[in-house]
Chain A
Amino acid sequence: MATDAASTGVTGTTRVKRGMADMLKGGVIMDVVNVEQAKIAEDAGAIAVMALERVPADIRAQGGVARMSDPTMIDEIINAVSIPVMAKARIGHFVEAQVIQSLGVDYIDESEVLTPADYINHIDKWAFTVPFVCGATNLGEALRRINEGAAMIRSKGEAGTGDVSNATGHIRTIKGEIRRLSSMSKDELYVAAKELQAPYELVCEVAEKGALPVVLFTAGGIATPADAAMMMQLGADGVFVGSGIFKSGDPVKRANAIVQATLHFDNPDEIAKASRGLGEAMVGINVADIPVPHRLAERGW
């Protein structure tokens, strides 16, 4: 919601929300569960941290309902680092989002990693001053989220697995569907909008620009420098790394290496250098071994 601040300027506009995501481009956003991890992330050159109580690998292992983090924990992380801090709200849980906004968080992730609070509606993100990032597995889903006010999209992947195959599939799908729209004649876009279940105006905008109107990051299963670089080569504007860093043998080294590989994503010599001597990667689970009802990427509609 755009509002007049005391006397200066206008806050909460689409431009400052989407612009904030522009400033994150080329960067790595890291999941952290405490101040110590947040500092490691900042020192390694993370562009932002995602404050949450349990990383996706633990949510998956421990089960139960996953919710918004304790505000005290989010406060501590905000106070510990100077880079932007993001936090997750459950899909559809607009009150968790209100609480997170009141804490002064810089971006809210309406995330499938937490247990959804509403299986029909997502949050009306236009109603907030703070910007939102949402997950998507395909273009239609991305455009529905943008229509609801998301100012940034991340492809979903399958969080907490260390298996990058779903992230690859989702970014390829989104990019491929964008290319397909760009090649269509104007009268074909009506049917395309119907098939994508997305607003016609947004479909036209994507067809004309050859890109989403917002920044597109990728997430879910990224565990190595080469994983991160591959996502960048596939056209991501940046990456989220969840369990991949702090569930590995040497988080400090791995965090630094993933940042370096994201910067030099098109330079195999640099990616090789970043990949040396990192110790154990997170053990991981193959997505194929996870029964379908337990797959997080399929949450969201």
Chain B
Amino acid sequence: MSPVIGVLAIQGDVREHARCLEQLDVDVRLVKTAEQLKGIAGLVIPGGESTTMSILAVKNNLFGPLRELRTQIPMYGSCAGLIMLADSISDGRADQETIGGLNITAKRNAFGRQVDSFEIDLHIPAIGEPDYHAVFIRAPLVEAASSAVEVLAAIPADKSLTGTDQVVAVRQDNLMATSFHPEITSDLRIHKYFVDMVRSA
């Protein structure tokens, strides 16, 4: 039987994630309420605006059930979803709540405003060759991570504007997150990596 993977549908590019997952032989459910979280085997938190997602998750009483669930099933967050899974945020609003679970500090809009949004090829050993074409849109960055966090990808120092490695994809046990948006490309390897996590959980 195909596992049911939820896509948090509060706001953002929900449809793009659903389209990627559907191509990987899983059943997709769009989730807006706590009730709809029941019975899913994994959850994707899409790209969007993390401030809006956080405010609406508070208003709709979703943080309690999401925090409980994150210890039980795999979750994957892209861009705003990375911020939602981060234990702490820098450059966010003072009261911005997250689901947490990843021992990282996420820096919001770390690369600048929309005019600084960019595309770049990244080497990601976990998904193999060839390099992965990653799209960053007002993207966050993993500014700090505990030793429990596995770095899946970084923009290498020689290509980054800061002259240091910039961490843009991480995994910690059942949780993974990327600063970039695999859902708006046609390369399914990141989603496949997550679906494999769900299947083997």
- Complex interface: chain A residues within 8 A of B91 (CB): 82
Partner of A23, one of B56, B118, B137: B137
Cβ contact within 8 Å between A9 and B120: yes
Point out which of B49, B60, B136 has the most chain A C-beta atoms below 10 A from its C-beta: B49
Once A and B bind, how many residue pairs between them come within 8 Å at the CB atom? 134
Cβ contact within 8 Å between B119 and A10: yes
Partner of B113, one of A104, A260, A264: A104
Interface segment out of the listed A44-52, A118-126, A153-161, A192-200: A44-52
Q: Which of B1-21 contact A (CB under 8 A)?
A: 9-16
CB-CB contacts of B82-117 with A at 8 A, as 1s and 0s? Answer: 000000000111000000000000001100011111
Point out which of A23, A42, A45 has the most chain B C-beta atoms below 10 A from its C-beta: A23
Cβ contact within 8 Å between A9 and B119: yes
Tell me if A165 counts as interface (CB < 8 A to partner B): no
Point out which of B12, B14, B51, B118 has the most chain A C-beta atoms below 10 A from its C-beta: B118
What is the interface of chain B mostly: helix, strand, loop, or mixed?
loop
- Complex interface: chain A residues within 8 A of B9 (CB): 26
Tell me if A207 counts as interface (CB < 8 A to partner B): no
Cβ contact within 8 Å between B15 and A25: yes
| Closest A residue to B117 using CB positions | A16
Cβ contact within 8 Å between B52 and A27: yes
Tell me if A5 counts as interface (CB < 8 A to partner B): yes
Point out which of A22, A104, A105, A263 has the most chain B C-beta atoms below 10 A from its C-beta: A22
- Chain B residues packing against A (C-beta within 8 Å): 9-16, 32, 47-49, 51-52, 55-56, 59-60, 79-80, 91-93, 108-109, 113-120, 135-138, 155, 158-161, 181, 184-185
Apart from A10-B120, A25-B13: 20 A-B pairs, beta carbons within 8 A: A6-B161, A8-B161, A16-B117, A19-B135, A20-B138, A24-B49, A25-B11, A26-B12, A26-B14, A26-B48, A27-B52, A46-B52, A48-B49, A84-B138, A106-B114, A106-B138, A131-B114, A259-B52, A263-B11, A263-B32
The 3 closest A-B pairs by CB, nearest first: A9-B118, A9-B120, A106-B114
Could you list some 28 contacts between A and B, CB below 8 A?
A5-B161, A6-B161, A7-B158, A8-B120, A9-B119, A12-B115, A15-B119, A15-B184, A16-B117, A16-B135, A16-B136, A19-B117, A19-B135, A19-B137, A20-B114, A20-B137, A23-B12, A23-B47, A23-B137, A25-B15, A27-B52, A42-B51, A45-B55, A48-B49, A82-B51, A105-B113, A106-B138, A107-B114
